[in-house]
Amino acid sequence: MPYAEYIAWQRECVAEMCRIIKDDGAIFYNNKNRVQNGLLEDRGEILKGFPLRQIIIWKRSGAINFNAGYFLPTTEQIYLLCNKAFKLAKGANKNTDVWEIKQEMKNPHPAPFPEELIDRIISSTTGKIILDPFAGSGTTAVSAKKFDRSFILIEKSLKYCEMAQKRIDGGDWRQRDVASREISLPIIF
Ligand SMILES: C[S@@+](CC[C@H](N)C(=O)[O-])C[C@H]1O[C@@H](n2cnc3c(N)ncnc32)[C@H](O)[C@@H]1O
C-alpha cells in the first residue's frame, strides 16, 4: 500500500477504535517503526490528534539484521490511547513502561504476539470486552479467556480465522495448512 494511503487507512482504524471505546476505555496500539529509503518512519503521523497517554516500550529478543545501515532493532512501541477516565487495574501501575518479553517462536502465524504480552495488557485493565480488529491467530482471545473477559476478533484471512477458532477450541491449531482458502471479508466470531 502506498505510504500516504497506509497512513490514512491506519488513522481511520484508530478513529473507529476511539469512537467505540467507553468513557474509561483504552486502546493498546502496536505498529512497528520502519526504515524506508534510509530514513526512520515513526508512527507520529498516524497518531497525531488522538488521545495518546503513554508509549510502552516492548523489548523483545534479537533477530537477524539484514541491513548494514542501522543497529539491530529489538524494541517496538505500544501506544496507550485512552479516554480521560481510563485507569489501570489495581496494582498494574507497579509495572514500568519497558516490558521485556520474548517474541513468540512456536506460532505458525507470520507475525504473532507472545501470549505474555497480551496477558500483561489485559490484566492491566478492567475492560470486560476486548476487541482485536487484527486478530491473526487469536492470541488476544486466548488471553481474554484466561482473565475471564469477553472478546471480539476481526480478521480478514479465513485461514487465520480458522486457526484462531481451533486455538480457542483447544484443537490442533499449529498445523501450517489449517486452511487453504483466503477471503478478504472481516469476520467476527
Ligand atoms: C500482526 S498480525 C496479528 C497477529 C496476532 N496478534 C497474533 O498474535 O496472532 C495482523 C493481522 O491482521 C490481519 N489483517 C490485515 N488487514 C486486515 C483488515 N483490513 N481487516 C482485518 N484483519 C486484517 C492480517 O491478516 C494479520 O493476520
Same domain, 79 and 124: no
The phi and psi torsions of 66 (rounded to 5 degrees) equal -85, -5
In total, how many domains does the chain have? 2
Of 84, 100, 116, which residue is a domain's last?
100
For residue range 9-56, list pLDDT tens digits in order: 999 999 999 999 999 999 999 999 999 999 999 999 999 999 999 999
**CB distance 112 to ligand 1 below 6 Å:** yes
Helix (H) or strand (E) holding 118: helix 115-123
Quick one: which atom of ligand 1 is closest to the CA of 109?
9
Same domain, 169 and 128: yes
In the chain, DSSP assigns E strands to 26-30, 34-36, 39-41, 52-59, 75-82, 98-100, 129-132, 150-155, 187-188
pLDDT at 176: 64
With the C-alpha atoms ordered 158, 110, 25, 89, is the resulting torsion angle positive or negative?
positive
Predicted TM-score (pTM) of the model is 0.92
CA distances from 52 to 86, 102, 189 (A): 12, 25, 29
Same domain, 129 and 77: no
> In this structure, what CATH number is given to the domain that contains residue 92?
3.40.50.150
Quick one: which atom of ligand 1 is closest to the CA of 134?
12
Same domain, 61 and 114: no
Of 65, 100, 135, which residue is a domain's last?
100
Domain that holds residue 176: 107-189
Same domain, 47 and 111: no
Of 100, 131, 156, which residue is a domain's last?
100
Q: What is the whole-number distance in angstroms between the Cα of residue 183 and the centre of ligand 1?
A: 13
Largest CA distance in the chain: 46
3 state SS of 174: coil
Q: What is the whole-number distance in angstroms between the Cα of residue 9 and the centre of ligand 1?
A: 14
List of the chain residues with pLDDT < 70 = 176-189
pLDDT at 172: 87
